[in-house]
Structure 1
Amino acid sequence: MSAQHPSGGPLVDGPADPEHDPAASYALEPAYVARLTGRIVSTTGETAAVHSPLQGQPLAHVPQSGAVDVDEAFARARRAQEQWSRTSLDDRAAMLLRLHDLVLDRQAEIIDLICLESGKARKHAFDEPLHIALTARYYARTAHDHLDTQRKLGVVPGLTRVEVNRVPKGVVGIISPWNYPFTMALCDGLPALLAGNAVVTKPDAQTMLSALLAAELLEEAGFPRDLWQVVAGPGSRVGTSVIERADYVCFTGSTATGRLVAQGCADRLIGCSLELGGKNPLLVLRDADLEKAAEGAVRASFSNAGQLCVSTERLFVADQVYDRFVERFVARTQAMTLGASLEWGVDMGSLISQDQLDTVEAHVADAVAKGATVLTGGRHRPDLGPFVYEPTILEGVSPDMTCFGHETFGPVIALYRFHDEADAVARANDGDYGLNASIYSQDGRRAREIARHVRCGTVNINEAFGATFASIDSPMGGMRQSGMGRRQGSEGILRYTEAQSVATQRLVRFAPMLGMSDETYAKVMTAQLRLMNKLGRA
């Protein structure tokens, strides 16, 4: 017997006993799964099982791709791209605007699927269709600003006309992660499509269905089906095949894998953008609004159970306010509602897998064994879901502990005191990462000045991470071992283009004319250079 989820998403079969075990009551309809997985390019006959982290229930058997399938995906994409590159920019932008509305119209379905695959709380799953709508609308409305041919200064004013065209790379390979399975599957590809490229994407194996729904919505918005190809399988096989065939690669994931992606792209002399790991700091200055800082710290640390590349894992608090801040932060953390559910009202959901749970438990156990104190949390909660772990605040974390410098990627935050702000900035910059930071202060000007000295690609003032991540006009990415390249803004779309300079010369040529000698030509050019400098010309 089939039933609709209360949110309106038409995805799930009705429960056997919803009151006793609500999370286990939701199973995807076979026809729905078949429709989505039918988009994968696969001839191997192999499948891989996908289970929901909510209660471990099976969701789907996903067809797996081989090298021949990746070849076919790229062949289809290249044929589609040849025609697509001749589609007008206004037509491409119109499709993005249709996608904007489709994503908002079908957000309940999208959120259901994200929750089922990732285990995150529903309010954190909502961030994903929100981010895609923002991205689609931004690039559609600013398409001409980024991609129109631009006039540049010619070497001879009035006689040298120079234009710069933005030419698509061709076929972009996108390897996306599991932690934000819908938005990461789409957000980097939308500007690639707008710029005239095709895309071959390899989503993470744990969250294929959310990525396949994204592909379905693209087609419904009007994008040609072959323009966006999806392949599935382990990164060591399928991801490597994508890197070997793409004209540009966009990767989001771990720093260790990012190095391998960069090496593969370097061998082929193609470009890549990498958004990698982070050990992100949050600074609470002595003049911070402590209620706002405590609320923000909860979101910064525990959104999506800490499984967010820009989430906070190190929290530096000024001595003058440390005790008062910690009291508020601990109280807010202890008040959080935990669960593995599709329903609204949960503050923090589940980790995605046993691997993630093992990492979190190992980091906390190591810290406690070496002298750290657990102020709250620190426990696995199998009563709520197989991979639910309490939001955890640690005090007394030292450099010999694993969680001091290594990314936990879970709901664990370490607290540190600082005496002066220069020391806090130095400690925030310690280590190899530089993705995101937050600063809480009621003096915005001073906080912005401090931000200039923090070695992170994004810095939020009086906000956890949403101010930068949701401001699509600003670039987002990491410094140091947190990555290279940027998504969003002009940099997020121009990375998918080649700059082509076209110069038209009139009347004069760059060689001796009218019988002058090479020596005379050199003297004339020298005089012109001196004149241009005196006139203040570039």
Structure 2
Amino acid sequence: MSVAEFLPPPNLDGNSIAKGASQTVEGMFSKAYGAQLTWSQLPIKERIARLKPLRSLLVKNRKRIADSILVPSRQDYRETIASEILPLADCVQWLGRRARKILEPRYSHRRFTPFWLGTIRSTIFRVPHGIVLIIGAGNYPLFLTGVQVLQALVAGNAVAIKPAPGAERTSQLLVELLVESGIPQELLVLLDSDIHAGEQALEAGVDKVVLTGSSRTGRSVLKMLADSLTPATMELSGCDAVYVLPGADLIRVCDLLLFGMRLNGGATCMAPRRVFVPRKLSEVFHRLLSERLRSDYAKNWRTVVPASVHKRLWDAVEAAVGQGAKIFSDSPRGSLPSVDRIEHAEHAHSSTVRIGPVVLTDVLPTMAICSMDLFAPLLLVVPVEDWSDALLADSKCPYALTASVYGPLEDAIRLAKYISAGTITINDTIVPTADPQLPFGGRGESGYGVTRGDEGLLEMTTPKVVSIRKGKWLPHAQVPQPADEELLDGLLQLAHSGSWIDRFRGLQQTLQAAFKSRRQN
């Protein structure tokens, strides 16, 4: 099956903007702002209730959803359930249980209000941004985009969705299910998938941007946002690290490495890439990994990558081998990124390539391949002396999305404190991040800000503080007096001096200054 067959033209209608449509982005945004104003005034409980039916709708429409997800690297329906539909339904359930508590107003505490401020009471509200533009990912088009849409809506925003090429049908179906669930259609603006639709939306003006994509795309979008100072959450690429400690269960390590490499055909931003293995464990580790790569399943396993990705991968492998890295497999077909079949397409990519696992050993952390974001089944084994050597090797890579540590629990927890990454899994990989309670985001080239969890929901809002002055005491509104300087200096000593004697002196000075000021009045 060709990618052209994977990607039929999207049937966009209703509240959507396709190429050549008469509706303008500005016109659709104007309607969305009107709907958002009404939506944001609803109690959070009501907004959550509108989303509750979505869980059963996801179950009811699971086959339609799976058929709409045309990711060439996706292996089967099982992967779609586990990596897209199930975690999105879990997110709906979690929002129903937690969103109201997370977004409720917070009040200043009298105990922590500086005494010299007097009787001030403040409330911190979480208010929506307005229109949130979500620039979706192509590798997990339902889950990643869906979670961001749900959190934006619960927070009181309208949403504009710019799908990735190939994700049009999935995004259209997501919008349909949301409307069926009870979300006002005017709140949801579905853009075309080409780059110009995203540019038009940015030019029209949005209030927040959430991007899932490459660091190069992130930089391009941020340049467009600079003039308007529009806030953004950047969930960008990864080239994730794996630390193998002495005492690690190497069978478990190898099994999970192959799982991470195969998941979604390697097109996962947090897939394990750079594996730091102590030299004294190398022999056993290589033997166990080789046994798994020689299994019938591994030898026959193939995935599909765009030809452009294949070329980047092939060039990087050749460069690494030229610098001393070794291709690790008994089967060239199973290790080299050789072309099994090229398929031409008219939509997302000019062609695709079928490849098997690509595993390199004796890799140096300074090699270019250790700093690349490649959506391919790639594993790089980097020999190290100890965990401090591994940390130094890891620091050579500009990406810091997730990391995995394998070894005795106490040692792994101790090491995790020093690893630069947004998420660290211990004795597991990828799967724990599906917990809807957990925020997800990276550092460095992997972006900033988070999605999901409490923190991701809060990012869909901005704080608004309302302070109320009670009583008639307004010393700052009075005409300045000569004793004011002495009074303030005394207050500073009284409140923050390091010794009780100095604080007592501050109290004396404050009282004397207050008495002088009163006499002058």
Residue of structure 2 equivalent to 1:446 = 411
1:109 aligns with 2:51: no
For structure 1, which segment, 365-374 or 146-155, has the greater mean C-alpha deviation from structure 2 after superposition?
365-374
Conservation of the 8 A alpha-carbon contact between 1:161 and 1:503: yes
Distance 2:360 2:79 in 1: 24
Tell me the C-alpha RMSD between the 2 structures.
Answer: 3.0
Residue of structure 2 equivalent to 1:86 = 41
Displacement of 1:509: 3.0
Within a 5 Å distance, the mapping from 1:189-338 to structure 2 comes to 189-235=149-195, 237-244=196-203, 245-335=205-295, 337=297
1:247 aligned partner, one-letter code: D
1:494 aligns with 2:494: no
1:96 aligns with 2:96: no
Conservation of the 8 A alpha-carbon contact between 1:77 and 1:226: yes
Within a 5 Å distance, the mapping from 1:126-525 to structure 2 comes to 126=81, 127-153=83-109, 154-156=113-115, 159-235=119-195, 237-244=196-203, 245-335=205-295, 337=297, 349-351=303-305, 353-376=306-329, 377-380=335-338, 382=340, 387-398=353-364, 401-441=367-407, 443-467=408-432, 469-511=433-475, 518-519=481-482
Q: The residue matched to 1:268 in structure 2 has which SS? A: coil
Match of 1:42 among 8, 13, 17: 17
For structure 1, which segment, 371-380 or 254-263, has the greater mean C-alpha deviation from structure 2 after superposition?
371-380
1:243 aligned partner, one-letter code: L
Conservation of the 8 A alpha-carbon contact between 2:17 and 2:190: no
Q: Does the C-alpha gap of structure 1 residues 388 and 336 become closer, same or farther in structure 2, counting only changes over 3 Å?
A: farther
Distance 2:298 2:32 in 1: 43
1:244-280 Cα deviation digits (max 9, x unpaired)? 3111111111111111212222210111010112221
Q: Which structure has the larger Rg over C-alpha atoms?
A: 2
Displacement of 1:214: 1.4
Structure 2, unaligned runs of 5 or more: 330-334, 344-351, 504-521
Q: The residue matched to 1:206 in structure 2 has which SS? A: coil
Q: The residue matched to 2:436 in structure 1 has which SS? A: coil
2:431 aligned partner, one-letter code: G
TM-score, length-normalised on structure 1? 0.81
Distance 2:290 2:25 in 1: 49
1:474 aligned partner, one-letter code: L
Residue of structure 2 equivalent to 1:71 = 26
Q: Does the C-alpha gap of structure 1 residues 334 and 363 become closer, same or farther in structure 2, counting only changes over 3 Å?
A: farther
Displacement of 1:503: 1.1
Q: Does the C-alpha gap of structure 1 residues 450 and 457 become closer, same or farther in structure 2, counting only changes over 3 Å?
A: same
1:95-149 Cα deviation digits (max 9, x unpaired)? 33322232233323322322x3444112332211122122222222111222111
Residue of structure 2 equivalent to 1:6 = none
Residue of structure 1 equivalent to 2:349 = none
Q: Does the C-alpha gap of structure 1 residues 371 and 220 become closer, same or farther in structure 2, counting only changes over 3 Å?
A: same
Distance 2:249 2:167 in 1: 39
1:183-235 Cα deviation digits (max 9, x unpaired)? 12211121111110000010112221112211111112111111111111422
Q: Does the C-alpha gap of structure 1 residues 398 and 521 become closer, same or farther in structure 2, counting only changes over 3 Å?
A: closer
Q: The residue matched to 2:405 in structure 1 has which SS? A: strand
Distance 1:140 1:163 in 2: 24
Q: Does the C-alpha gap of structure 1 residues 305 and 363 become closer, same or farther in structure 2, counting only changes over 3 Å?
A: farther
Conservation of the 8 A alpha-carbon contact between 2:422 and 2:440: yes
Equivalences, count: 478
Q: Does the C-alpha gap of structure 1 residues 455 and 108 become closer, same or farther in structure 2, counting only changes over 3 Å?
A: same
Q: Does the C-alpha gap of structure 1 residues 495 and 526 become closer, same or farther in structure 2, counting only changes over 3 Å?
A: same
Structure 1, unaligned runs of 5 or more: 1-22, 46-64, 340-345
Conservation of the 8 A alpha-carbon contact between 1:512 and 1:518: no
Q: Does the C-alpha gap of structure 1 residues 308 and 95 become closer, same or farther in structure 2, counting only changes over 3 Å?
A: same
2:357 aligned partner, one-letter code: P
Q: Does the C-alpha gap of structure 1 residues 119 and 100 become closer, same or farther in structure 2, counting only changes over 3 Å?
A: same
Distance 2:7 2:387 in 1: 55
1:504 aligned partner, one-letter code: I
Residue of structure 1 equivalent to 2:511 = none
Displacement of 1:527: 5.5
For structure 1, which segment, 327-336 or 304-313, has the greater mean C-alpha deviation from structure 2 after superposition?
327-336
Q: Does the C-alpha gap of structure 1 residues 383 and 117 become closer, same or farther in structure 2, counting only changes over 3 Å?
A: same
Q: Does the C-alpha gap of structure 1 residues 87 and 516 become closer, same or farther in structure 2, counting only changes over 3 Å?
A: closer
Displacement of 1:489: 2.1
Distance 2:6 2:224 in 1: 37
Displacement of 1:383: 5.8
